[in-house]
Amino acid sequence: MNALQRFQPVLLAVLRIVTAYLFLLHGTAKFFEFPISMGGAPQGIFFAAGVLEIVGGILLILGLFTRPTAFILSGQMAVAYFMAHAAEAPLFPIANHGESAVLFCFVFLYIAAAGAGSWALDHAFGKNK
């Protein structure tokens, strides 16, 4: 048995919480210009993205409805990559500034498959299946 395997549930929770916090900051930047401004009030698809970033980020930090939330956010990031970044050098995210969208997409996909880990409200409400 790998010596780090006993820490897997805790490290999964840390991955979920840190990733969700970083994702939440994208939404707060869009809506509240905090911690930076992203160009004023979001409209259209950017409004929907901001709502998903804030609501989804909070749900994942809490570990509530983790699997469906992470799956939806993974899809959002896939759409974001192909709509906003892939037109320019689709196979080279570093060239089209889409690295964060790709990383969020695959981390969320992993969380959707693996679950919340420790420290999740899903456990309290019997959603850990």
Domain ranges of the chain: 8-124
User: What's the pLDDT at 101?
Assistant: 97
pLDDT digits (tens, 9 = 90+) for 14-57: 999 999 999 999 999 999 999 998 887 889 999 999 999 999 99
21: CB partners within 8 A, 6+ apart: 57, 61
Q: Are 63 and 12 in contact (CB under 8 A)?
A: no
Global pTM exceeds 0.85: yes
Indicate the range of 38-47, 49-58, 74-83, 92-101 predicted with least confidence. 38-47
| Mean pLDDT for the stretch of residues 49-75 | 98
User: What's the pLDDT at 1?
Assistant: 66
SS3 for 58?
helix
Q: Are 118 and 10 in contact (CB under 8 A)?
A: yes
User: What's the pLDDT at 126?
Assistant: 80
Percent over 70 (pLDDT), the chain: 97
